[in-house]
Amino acid sequence: MQKSIVLITGSGNTKKHLYSQLREFIPEYITIKSLAIEENVPNEITADLMIYSSENLVNELKERGIKLNCKDYIISERSINFDHIELVANIPPKTEVLLVNDEKETAQSSIEDLMELGLNHIKYYPYYPGIDKYKKLKIAITPGESDKVPDCVEKVIDLGPRIMDINTLYKIMDKLNFDNKDTRFFTKRYMQKIINVSKNISLVNNNINTLNTYLNNIVNSLVNGILVIDENGYIKYANEQMTKLLSPDKRNIENRNVKNLVDKEVLKYFMSAEFYENKEIEIAGLIIKASKFKIPNSDNIVITTSKEKRANSKSKYSHDLLLKGHFAKYDFDDIIGKSPQINEVKLTALKLSKSDLTVLIEGESGTGKELFASAIHNTSKRKDGPFLAVNFSALPDELIESELFGYEEGAFTGAKKGGKIGLFELADGGTIFLDEIGDISLKVQTKLLRVLQEKEIMPIGGTNIKSVDVRVIAATNKDLRKMVKEKQFRSDLYYRLKIGYINLPPLRQRVSDIKDLVEYFISKETSKRIDISKEVIEEFESYKWLGNVRELESTIKYMLAVRTSEILTIEDLPDKKFFEEEIENYDCEDEYEFKILSGEMLTILNTIKKLEDNNLNASREKITKFLNDIGINITENMIRTKLNYLEEYGYITKTRGKKGTVLTRKGLAYLNSMIIEGE
């Protein structure tokens, strides 16, 4: 049955513009009839959906005694018509103009719309009928109210009547039960329209690549998830729905790379040259219908998502854990290299993955311990279960127990209401990866041994023992055998962890893999075809790579950023100081300086490093939130004090603006020394 809309407006001019807008976005199979109160209106109106251009029209129709036969109605929200917004964009900077509208509130609202749109290069003054005093200016901007412009004005820029905003349009689609195809068509059409508007505005602001605040506000209100990425996978825009899907903790994901947020199967869909419509993709246990298209005259790609359903292979519990990021990102195909050394280790890891044995992975920093742990999980019978990773070097000792085993309500001061589930319980049916296992205290070692022996945990403050079915994979860059001899690590725990054992070779012992690794890192960073000269490979093969594969990856990122051609050459190599041939032991001569580097101070430095690694500015707010999220009860004022100490001793630099707090060479060297110590 054909559906119908009746549009009711005050004036004929508004009727004309709003009808044109509806016809642009509403499918042809839906009939649209438009009426204006100032014109003839029939005594009876019938429609599936009635749309009023303003609230006062509802009462006016009732007062006239007009009979309304409609299943539903919407009162439209209105915004500036941006079809001809370039006329405002072309006004010279700092020009003073009148913004003319029918009432004080609508004049001020129109000014706010233009400012949000990014058109803040000119000075606006509101004008409306009945205003007492106003500036006698020569230019006026008006949303379809030219007859109200004062006589002093010589030039009038008429944007036409205000149009329905995007929320109203989506309400219309919801009321009429649009199918996915029509919703996707609307989304694509509206996005292209907004992007073109934004480009015009950005030209004025000398910032062509940045969509404005108004665009973000529009996109954030969309029903569908929308993601805009560049050719290298960096996220330029993401609305609220897409942010929730890719980052369940709702952290801002703009300027992050999608490769750090999705597994490799999803990444193939996001980064391939293929464009598609309505393709089913599984993301974090959900089946999403996705469409992908390229923005005209741009390198940016838009991915939209719509109707979602839970994947059959995942339970609701597993699904919720996956949404929180508790899944393994890598498998054995992601471990690059064909050298005998790496092949032997991969074969051992593959064999161990088929069992349920506890595994200990040893290797220098940057050799890929988490990569192997993830691959073992994804090849095991537990692959559909959660994969939780905890890095002991990033947690103060007093928090490790509560993170691993959880706690009951009231267990200690500051405990959350209702208590907290520990990571072992969350990982039930899956795998827990204990990174930097050599950093835990003897007290925690004792509790961990019980879990491995009895498969049981007891939350802090609890009285009931809980059974857990968890596989443990541990990793360290320290010499645990030496620590056992020095009574720093329990021997019974060491041998319990070492039932399955993998020792990862450093990069300097598998030099033949360097070329393959370089090619992989280039393809990972950009979709462009970039070659690398033979001289650079030879230089790489002669270097010690104390930072291993991670250092090689950082070097490639640097070279891609500074390159001047499609070939990476010797000229693109970093300065020699970029490479640390030897990492010195770090000594603090100042006794007070040594004291402040323990406990929370070290955790703060680690937090700043993690934020930097994820291309996020380390502001006080972000540092505080990160620490609160991992259970450290600390305020922004306390962070300020601690950052002052760290800056005083040269470990960080606090900057104004977007960069926030950054690690100095001294701060980075200190963190590196903490990693290398014990190797």
In the chain, count H helices and then E strands: 25, 28
Rounded CA-CA distance 466/450 in Å is: 12
* C-beta separation of 404 from 440 below 8 A: no
* C-beta separation of 165 from 79 below 8 A: yes
The 8-class DSSP code of residue 619 comes to -
The percentage of the chain sitting over the pLDDT mark of 70, rounded to a whole number, equals 80
Task: Identify the architecture of domain 507-578 in CATH.
Answer: Orthogonal Bundle (1.10)
Task: Decide: residue 139, CB within 10 A, 0-12 exposed, 13-18 middle, 19+ buried.
Answer: middle
Q: 210 pLDDT band (50/70/90 cuts)? A: very low
Rounded CA-CA distance 341/601 in Å is: 39
Burial 389-413 (b: 16+ CB within 10 A, else e): bbebbbbeeebbbbbbbbbbeebee
- Provide the CATH topology of domain 86-164: Rossmann fold (3.40.50)
Rounded CA-CA distance 108/125 in Å is: 9
Rounded CA-CA distance 525/563 in Å is: 13
Q: What is the mean predicted confidence (pLDDT) over 121-134?
A: 91
What pLDDT score was predicted for residue 579?
A: 61
Q: What is the mean predicted confidence (pLDDT) over 240-245?
A: 80
Backbone angles phi, psi at 163, to 5 degrees: -110, 170
Instruction: Identify which has the larger pLDDT, 333 or 207.
Output: 333
Q: Are strands 139-142 and 96-100 parallel, antiparallel or unpaired?
A: parallel
Could you identify the residue written with the tokens 């190797």? 679
CB count, 10 Å around CB of 497? 26
Least confident of 208-212, 351-355, 439-443, 485-489: 208-212
CATH number of 332-503: 3.40.50.300
CB count, 10 Å around CB of 128? 19
* C-beta separation of 309 from 352 below 8 A: no
What pLDDT score was predicted for residue 658?
A: 55
The neighbouring-strand residues paired with 78 are: 164
The identity of residue 182, as a single letter, is D
What pLDDT score was predicted for residue 156?
A: 94
3-state SS, 475-489, equals: EECCCHHHHHHCCCC
The identity of residue 116, as a single letter, is E
* C-beta separation of 425 from 417 below 8 A: no
Least confident of 47-56, 145-154, 214-223, 283-292: 214-223
What pLDDT score was predicted for residue 475?
A: 94
Q: What is the mean predicted confidence (pLDDT) over 367-372?
A: 92
Task: Inform me whether the pLDDT recorded for 584 exceeds 60.
Answer: no
Rounded CA-CA distance 425/466 in Å is: 8
**Topology agreement, domain 86-164 and domain 507-578:** no
Least confident of 117-126, 182-191, 330-339, 565-574: 182-191
Between the CA of residue 96 and those of 119, 120, 132, 147, 202, what are the distances in Å?
A: 13, 11, 19, 20, 20
Nearest Cα neighbor of 633 from 656, 603, 661 is: 603
Rounded CA-CA distance 22/189 in Å is: 13
Class of the 591-676 domain?
Answer: mainly alpha
Could you identify the residue written with the tokens 């439209």? 76
Task: Decide: residue 618, CB within 10 A, 0-12 exposed, 13-18 middle, 19+ buried.
Answer: buried
What pLDDT score was predicted for residue 177?
A: 76
Task: Inform me whether the pLDDT recorded for 217 exceeds 70.
Answer: no
Q: Which residues contact 181 (CB under 8 A, 6 or more apart)?
A: 278
Between the CA of residue 461 and those of 327, 354, 402, 407, what are the distances in Å?
A: 29, 37, 10, 6
Nearest Cα neighbor of 303 from 166, 188, 179 is: 188
The identity of residue 509, as a single letter, is Q
What pLDDT score was predicted for residue 206?
A: 43
Q: 554 pLDDT band (50/70/90 cuts)? A: confident
Rounded CA-CA distance 368/366 in Å is: 6
* C-beta separation of 159 from 141 below 8 A: yes
What pLDDT score was predicted for residue 51?
A: 93
- Provide the CATH topology of domain 180-323: Beta-Lactamase (3.30.450)
Nearest Cα neighbor of 201 from 189, 213, 192 is: 213
DSSP codes joined into one string, 517-548: HHHHHHHHH-SS--EE-HHHHHHHHTS--TTH
Task: With H, G, I as helix, E, B as strand and everything else as coil, classify residue 466.
Answer: strand
Domain assignments of the chain as residue spans, ordered by start: 4-76, 86-164, 180-323, 332-503, 507-578, 591-676
Q: What integer best gives the mean pLDDT of the chain?
A: 79
Rounded CA-CA distance 225/243 in Å is: 8
What pLDDT score was predicted for residue 589?
A: 43
Rounded CA-CA distance 127/102 in Å is: 8
217 is written with which tokens?
């506000």
Q: What is the mean predicted confidence (pLDDT) over 534-539?
A: 90
The percentage of the chain sitting over the pLDDT mark of 90, rounded to a whole number, equals 22
